[in-house]
Amino acid sequence: MSKVEKTEEQWREQLSDEEYRITRQHGTEPAFSGNYYNNKDEGSYQCICCQQPLFSSHEKYDSGSGWPSYWMPVNEQAITENRDSSHGMTRVEVLCSQCDAHLGHVFEDGPEPTGLRYCINSACLEFKKS
């Protein structure tokens, strides 16, 4: 699929203020406030901006962080990663590979088999129950 490109005005029309702030301006929702951090239903999580599948409930786990956490994306092509040096720390930012929406960050303190924790904002996701 080709990259989704829209103007800032088009994104603002499509997204709520909170979705826009997080996905397009690299924001973060408060811990334990999002719709999906405690979701236990089976299904898939896709990008709120472009509907690309990103994560599955089969790889979701309770990290205790207050954000939806996954030990891997649906596939390596679903996301891109960038070095993030904001807020006085170095982290790895996770973006949707299709539309460059900011999703969250990935940390190396997750469970096996990957040892990774993809810590993702609920506002970036749309859940499709299976």
| Choice among 47, 99, 119, 124 that is catalytic | 119
Cis previous bond, 113, omega within 30: yes
Residue 55, class by beta-carbon neighbours within 10 Å (0-12 exposed, 13-18 middle, 19+ buried)? buried
Taking the C-alpha atoms of residue 48 and residue 17, their distance in angstroms, rounded to an integer, is: 13
Give yes or no: 96 in active site: no
Residues 6+ apart with CB under 8 A from 48: 15, 19, 23, 101, 123, 124, 125, 126
Residue pair 55/110 in contact (Cβ under 8 Å)? The answer is: no
Catalytic residues: 119
